[in-house]
Chain A
Amino acid sequence: MTDILRAAVGIFATLAPFGLIPAFLAASRDAREENARAGRTLPLAGITALVVLLVAVLLADPFLDFLDVSAENFQAAAAVIMLPLAARLLWSGHSLGLSDVATSRPWLLPLAIPGLAGPASLGAVVAYSGRYGEADAAIAVAIAIMAASALLYAAGFLQRALGERAIGVLGRLSGALIVAIAVELAVDGVRSV
């Protein structure tokens, strides 16, 4: 159980939902204005990201075999892959720009991919799958996606209650959390057999 929770926290961190709030609200607003798929943005993005990350769990072992890389060594790679997202969050407080959501299907691009299922979360999922096994990683993915979706569901309320500045601060803190998760993953990879 501890392993699942640890993996869920790590994956949740790389989903960085606080950093997605501004883009998610903009996408939802645009959808309402166009009266198309209003209210379905979040479920569609969440389910898509869940499917992508679960596929990543299933393909983690063959992927590492294909690369000739041990799961322990991959943890350091996952840590490096997380750093650009962490840097963006620390710098701006959000993981997607508002202009990024001006697409025909924002729930897919960029909210689901790469907003939720991006390089950082994919790297984390592969790393945790190697570390704790597919079953634990899959459960952790489901928990993390549900938690991130719940947070995004409350995005409007949070923005009104806390204000944009506080959301930005929380986004920056998400970046710091990702750095901590990356360091933990890398150190664990170095210390593992």
Chain B
Amino acid sequence: MIARGTLLSFGLWIVLLAFVRVAVIPPESCGVESEERIAEAAVAAAAWMTRNQNADGTYVYLYYNESDTSPIAYNEVRHAGVTMSLYQAAGRLGDREALATADNALAWMEENLVRHDDWAALASEGRADRPALGASALMVVSMAERRLATADTQYDDLMREVGRYLTALQRDDGGFHVAWQIDIDAPDTVGRSRFYPGEALWALALLHEAFPGEGWDSHARDALQFVTTLRDDVEDVDFPPLADQWTAYGLAEMVEWGLTDQQIDYARDLAGRFGLLVRTASQREGSWYGSLVRGEDARASGVGTWAEGLAGLWRVAANDDRLADIKNKTEERLHCIAGILADRQFDAEEAAGYGTPGLVEGAWFHEGETRMDDQQHAFSGITYALDALAEHKMREPEETLE
């Protein structure tokens, strides 16, 4: 005869363990396992960006698959970002169409430059008096990616010119003002951005890689010091460190220059942040109750940034022994998030059921909406995740396009 107290205790444990299973550790699932299929997802995403460019060099910004509509809206920061990814596609996949498309987009950026003093900045129509730092930073990154993909140096002077806008906006603490106010010829000291510093950091690191000895590295180091020590406080980040993939890209670029212990600690914490996001996403995928307790899926532009960030930090771990202990786990998470992205991408068969299949195939939709940077971040994230799985430690393409 089992005592009533024992039965009660047993019952309470069953309830507790059931609660733990549902609320704390719902099963995790990582979508597509095949690296080949994951690679196909990257190709399809690059094809979407290539296919959906307008005649003027801009891209389709937003598209709703249910209503088959594409509202008029644009953002020059995301334009530069998508162009960056297409140059990555050119370098990584040898995709000449991506190169041609990105060159059209770069021409649009050249047409939308604002020149002042010795610098140039990318500004879209209506914002020419206040060019955003992030747009110019990603334009520099785009040109750097083009240089890596083609070994073509025709944009070197423009890279330097736009690079000087970044340094003109850099503060003494290594952080950045968000824009220059051209009408009053002074920086905007009020505006704030969480991600611009990381974008500028990466751009400055790439400038140094392209033009060593010109002093870009000291700006990059100051920016890295700001991002790793002050940015989260300045920007009131609730759960630091901010999940900023741009900083991860920058760290990956700068790891060969030598990182301080504090910067390595920051990289470890940042990898933990991205890892948690991936694990949580995999819990959403694993069961119906996982999706209930973990909330709705993030859009691909967000999920892709986790993969980009982890891939950058994987490079840091692969090149610096102080992070060697997180390398394998980082690969696991990268495989997982790339698989989730591949699983959620719309394929040709699904796209055929919509009004404009060319705007659906290869895209990621969130509540019926895709935005061009969904494809951008997902593409870059998957591409560099595959690099990690292939133990490809350097980000540069192995061969250049002519």
Interface residues of chain A, those whose CB is within 8 Å of chain B, are: 67-70, 72-74, 76-77, 80-81, 84, 119, 190-193
A74 to B24: give the CA distance in the assembly, Å: 8
Q: Which residues of B contact A119 (CB under 8 A)?
A: 13
**Interface secondary structure of B, over-half rule:** helix
Say yes or no: is B29 at the interface (Cβ < 8 Å to chain A).
Answer: yes
Using known A-B contacts A68-B29, A72-B279, determine if residue A193 contacts B24 with beta carbons closer than 8 Å: no
Distance (whole angstroms) from the CB of B295 to the closest CB of chain A = 16
CB distance from A101 to the nearest CB of B (A): 13
A73 to B269, CA, bound (A): 16
What separation, in Å, do the CA atoms of A69 and B272 have in the docked complex? 17
A193 partner residues in chain B, CB cutoff 8 A: 271-272, 274-275, 310, 326, 329-330, 333
Closest B residue, CB atoms, query A83: B16
Kindly identify which residue among B19, B25, B274 contacts A69, using a CB–CB cutoff of 8 Å.
B25
On whether A76 and B25 interact (CB within 8 A), knowing A81-B20, A192-B329, A193-B329, the answer reads yes
Given the interface pairs A77-B20, A192-B329, A193-B333, the reply to whether A67 lies near B276 with Cβ below 8 Å is no
Kindly list chain A residues whose C-beta atoms are within 8 Å of the C-beta of B326: 193
Q: What is the CA–CA distance of A70 and B274 in the complex, to the nearest angstrom?
A: 15
Shortest CB-to-CB span from A124 to chain B, Å, is 14
Tell me the interface secondary structure of chain A in the complex. helix
- The minimal Cβ–Cβ distance linking B1 to chain A, given in whole angstroms, is 13
Report if A72-B24 is in contact (Cβ < 8 Å); known contacts: A81-B16, A193-B333.
no
Q: In the complex, which residues of chain A have a beta carbon less than 8 angstroms from the beta carbon of B279? A: 70, 72-73
Contact with A along B66-90 (1 / 0, CB 8 A): 0000000000000000000000000
**CB-defined contacts of B329 to chain A, threshold 8 Å:** 72, 192-193
Please indicate which of the listed interface residues A70, A81, A192 has the most CB atoms of chain B within 10 Å of its own CB.
A70
A-B pairs with beta carbons under 8 Å apart, 25 shown = A67-B25, A68-B27, A68-B29, A69-B28, A70-B279, A72-B329, A73-B24, A73-B25, A73-B28, A73-B279, A74-B25, A77-B20, A80-B20, A80-B24, A84-B16, A119-B13, A190-B276, A191-B272, A192-B272, A192-B275, A193-B271, A193-B274, A193-B326, A193-B329, A193-B330
Measured in the bound complex, the distance between the Cα atoms of B272 and A72 in whole Å is 10
Q: Which residues of A contact B28 (CB under 8 A)?
A: 68-70, 73
Q: Is B286 on the interface with A (CB-CB < 8 A)?
A: yes
Q: A68-B28, A77-B25 are in contact. List 8 more A-B contacts (CB 8 A).
A: A77-B24, A80-B19, A80-B20, A84-B16, A191-B269, A191-B276, A192-B272, A193-B274
Q: Which of B279-295 contact A (CB under 8 A)?
A: 279, 282-283, 286
A-B CB proximity, top 7 nearest? A193-B275, A68-B27, A191-B272, A193-B329, A77-B25, A69-B25, A77-B24
